[in-house]
Amino acid sequence: MEPTPPTPAPSPAPASRTAGTDTSASDASAAGAASATSTDSTPRLLRSDAGNEVQARLEGDWTLLALRDRVEALRTELGTLPRSGVRWDLSAVARMDPTGALLLWQAWGRQQPADLQWPTTAAAAMFQAQFARLSAKSGKATRPHRKESPWKLGQTLFHLAEHLIDAIALFGQVVRDCGRMARHPGLVAWSDISAHIYRSGAQALGITALVGVLVGITLSYLIARQLQNFGADIYVINILGISVWRELGPLLAAILVAGRSGSAMTAQIGVMRVTQELDALSVMGISHTVRLVFPKMVALAISLPLVTVWTSSMVLLGGMLAARATLGLDYVQFLQGLPASVPIANLWLGVSKSAVFGVLIAFVACHFGLRIRPNSESLAAGTTQSVVASITMVIVVDAIFAVMFSNVGLKV
């Protein structure tokens, strides 16, 4: 009897069937994920590394409403991507507004990448128009870095000419926007004007009163000592009244406001440049002159004349106290002799000059603020230059006024 041959082991199931089953399952899950993705508007960034190339795929709605809860997380994810060697895929982006475009523009280093895949829908033209607008704004805002020239005088004159050209362009834009706001008063930011009047006017009353009283005491004491030598003590009222209402009051108030409020205006616009708020205003189509420059100029034109009247009154108060202590001049005599010895034209001249000084200080502050580059060093230098330029321009314009109106208000 021959032995029974061994039963052959069952052959394993074909690998192709298992693989096919897994593949079909993965395809089904991918299809489900794709269908879920198509209906989900949450903005996402999908990163995949393939060798030396990084692919960044964007999905969802990149709009202000969709980004409000994920903007910081997406900014962090975008910051981890390298600056070069990234292939950007925007084909899965359903919608994009200026907020999403600005977020991507900042992640791209303010220039459009070369390898960029656009959507095949009609929204691609709108996306390209938004990035083209950002590119045009960045081209105007950024200035090419110039090498240091060994000719210091020529370099200084060149920078001065550059400042003058930019100032003329800004002034022209302000005049143009004033005409547009005259036709459409709804564009005027009345709340900003009111806020700047409060900050540059009401909040400056304390420091101007202190400085005014101290200056009045010092000035009256020195004048009284000199007039005593000639027995003309009563003329301290004439000298104090004319000099304070005509020159010293407006000039002192303008210098204090330029150092206090002018520097704050420059720093505010500079911080908006550093935090990219100015770029956001440009993306939304809001004019810088309408929103920032014009309200500040109007506010200082209104508040500085009032601060000048307050400062001049405090200077005269300090002078009256010093005249009583030094010359024994009675308060009633001082107050009655002041309007009799000082023509009213000096008051109107001082107030008119103050309005011009206010417009000039705000304009110079905004000019230097808009020229600040997005770094802390430029912010500090721009603020310092703004204060120096404002005070210098105030003194120059005051000298021009003194020459032009030399025969006004000096005769009783």
State pLDDT tens for residues 5-50: 444 444 444 443 333 434 444 444 444 444 444 456 788 888 888 7
Whichever domain contains 111, its CATH number is: 3.30.750.24
- Which of these, 369, 280, 301, lies nearest to 102 by C-alpha position? 280
pLDDT attached to residue 131 = 80
Contact 261, 207 (CB under 8 A): no
Cα–Cα distance, 90 to 131 (Å, whole number): 13
Closest to 101 measured CA to CA, from 78, 73, 82 = 78
Which structure tokens are listed for 378? 């430029």
In the structure, what pLDDT confidence band is assigned to residue 53 with cuts at 50, 70 and 90?
confident
Q: In this structure, is residue 277 part of a structural domain? A: yes
Whether the pLDDT of residue 258 is over 80: the answer is yes
Query: Does one domain contain both 352 and 203?
Result: yes
Between residues 126 and 379, the one the model is more confident about: 379
H/E stretch holding 90 reads: strand 86-96
Do 190 and 85 reside in the same domain of the chain?
no
Q: What is the mean pLDDT of residues 102-124?
A: 78
Q: Is residue 181 packed enough to be buried (19+ CB in 10 Å), middle (13-18) or exposed (0-12)?
A: middle
Could you tell me if 195 and 105 lie in one domain? no
Q: What does the pLDDT look like over 266-305, one tens digit per residue?
A: 999 999 988 888 888 888 888 888 889 999 999 999 999 9
- What CA–CA distances, in Å, run from 126 to 78, 111, 286? 22, 17, 19
- Same domain, yes or no: 113 and 182: no
How much is the pLDDT for 214? 95
> Rounded to whole angstroms, how far apart are CA atoms 147 and 162?
15
Any idea which of 2-16, 82-96, 390-404 has the lowest mean pLDDT? Answer: 2-16
Domain that holds residue 396: 173-404
Residue where a domain stops, chosen among 73, 99, 119: 119
Structure tokens at 162: 């550059």
Query: Under 8 Å CB-to-CB from 11, ≥6 apart: which residues?
Result: none
101 and 187 both lie in a single domain: no
Residue that finishes a domain, picked among 119, 137, 162: 119
Residues 244 and 111 occupy one common structural domain: no
**Is 76 in the same domain as 180?**
no
CA distance 233 to 113: 79
Over pLDDT 70: what percentage of the chain?
84
List the structure tokens of 293: 């420059």
Q: Are residues 299 and 194 located together in one domain of the fold? A: yes
Distance in angstroms (rounded) separating the CA atoms of residues 237 and 250: 18
Asked if the model's pLDDT at residue 153 lies above 70, the reply is no
| pTM score | 0.64
Please provide the DSSP assignment of 320-359 as one string.
Answer: HHHHHHHH---HHHHHHHHHHHS-HHHHHHHHHHHHHHHH
Look at residue 161 and tell me if it is in a domain.
Answer: no
On whether both 288 and 399 belong to a single domain, the answer is: yes
Question: For residue 69, is it within any domain?
Answer: yes
Q: Are 288 and 166 in contact (CB under 8 A)?
A: no
| 140 within some domain | no
pLDDT of residue 117: 78
Q: 386 pLDDT band (50/70/90 cuts)? A: very high
In a domain, 136, yes or no: no
Q: Is 298 part of a structural domain of the chain? A: yes
- Do 298 and 363 lie in a common domain? yes
3-state SS of 223-265?
A: HHHHHHCCCCHHHHHHHHHHHHHHHHHHHHHHHHHHHHHHHHH
| Count: domains in the chain | 2
Query: Does the residue 337 lie in any domain?
Result: yes
Last residue in a domain, options 119, 140, 155: 119
20 domain-assigned: no
Q: Is the pLDDT assigned to residue 189 strictly greater than 80?
A: yes
Question: According to the model, what pLDDT value does residue 411 have?
Answer: 60
Q: Does 343 lie in the same domain as 249?
A: yes
Q: Do 90 and 203 sit in the same domain of this protein? A: no
